[in-house]
Amino acid sequence: MHRRKFLSASLAASAVVLSRDAAAQAPSAPGREYYLLRRYFLQSGPQNSLTEHYINEALVPALAKHAMGPVGAFRLDIGPETPTYYVLIPSRSAEDLATLDFALAKDDTFMKAAEPFWSAPATAPAFVRTDSTLLSAFEGWPRITPPPHTAGAKRVYQLRTYESPSFRDHVRKVEMFNSGEFELFKAAGFDNVFFGDTLLGPRMPSLTYMLSFEDLAQLNTHWATFSGNPDWKKLSNDPKYAFESIVSNISNLILSPLASSQI
């Protein structure tokens, strides 16, 4: 019990410091969010249905009780390390995200629904591993924007992570988004969902964002439109951003929503 209280307090303190530091570096827009992006790495077989049931029936409803939403819940369709599930959790408080698991453990309704997943035995674990990334919304795109939905229609989601070779280059890339790249995405027909700067997570410095499309054909068409836009060529050739490769690696994943996804 003492260890749990110490860990909870440590996470909360770290989150408060991160929130303060992020605010000092870039003034927050009204309503600017933080995001917890959690991945569940699975083995093919029973883990898939067990984890999907946990996300749909236990986690997303519990997050609604904590006023966290809209929540994104996805399976990885195209990318490495499949099967993997992703959950995107927004909050106005980094501290609430950092201490989320301890808060959920006090929710009897959640614990009852989560029991098969939460307490799976070592001989039949619910997942291989999980990891989490804590992000801060970009100043120019401060909140999650769910894409338009058509009844019965399926959508695809593109999750992209840009790593930079230095913190200077990372800051320049974030500035590039805030200096016109959002508008160029919208002009190309993209549905922009979220943009986040990594505060805690692997392979920093990095940023992650999500786009949505009706299907893969539309994804390819819209990217071709974006690439051919003369305003994009002008922005990307600006000496402020083109003095070197400010993005050193790109992760590009294709996801589909689970039944409980609110995005």
Partners of residue 217 on adjacent β-strands: none
How far, rounded to the nearest angstrom, does the alpha carbon of residue 16 sit from its chain's CA centroid?
Answer: 20
Q: With a cut of 70, say whether residue 87 has pLDDT above it.
A: yes
- Residue 99, phi then psi, degrees to nearest 5: -110, 20
Cα–Cα distances in Å, from 166 out to 211, 237, 238? 25, 19, 19
- Residue 80, phi then psi, degrees to nearest 5: -75, 165
- Residue 86, phi then psi, degrees to nearest 5: -120, 140
Average pLDDT over residues 171-183: 97
Q: Which residues of 12-47 are buried (b: 16+ CB within 10 A; e: fewer)?
A: bebbeebbeebeeebeeeeebbbbbbbbbbbeeeeb
How far, rounded to the nearest angstrom, does the alpha carbon of residue 57 sit from its chain's CA centroid?
Answer: 20
Average pLDDT over residues 41-67: 97
SS (H, E, C) 141-185: ECCCCCCCCCCCCCCEEEEEEEECCCHHHHHHHHHHHHHHHHHHH
* Calpha distance 91→98 (Å, rounded): 10
Q: Are 126 and 49 in contact (CB under 8 A)?
A: no
Average pLDDT, the chain: 90
* Calpha distance 31→60 (Å, rounded): 21
Average pLDDT over residues 203-225: 97
Residue 260: pLDDT band with limits 50, 70, 90: very high
Question: pTM (2 decimals)?
Answer: 0.87
- Residue 38, phi then psi, degrees to nearest 5: -110, 135
For 107, residues 6+ apart whose C-beta sits below 8 A from its C-beta are: 62, 65
For 12, residues 6+ apart whose C-beta sits below 8 A from its C-beta are: 95, 98, 99
Q: What is the pLDDT of residue 149?
A: 77
Q: What is the pLDDT of residue 11?
A: 42
Q: What is the pLDDT of residue 151?
A: 55
Q: What is the dihedral of CA 166, 170, 176, 182, to 10 degrees?
A: 150
Q: Are 159 and 255 in contact (CB under 8 A)?
A: yes
Cα–Cα distances in Å, from 105 out to 21, 63, 146, 219, 261? 29, 12, 28, 40, 22
Q: With a cut of 90, say whether residue 29 has pLDDT above it.
A: no
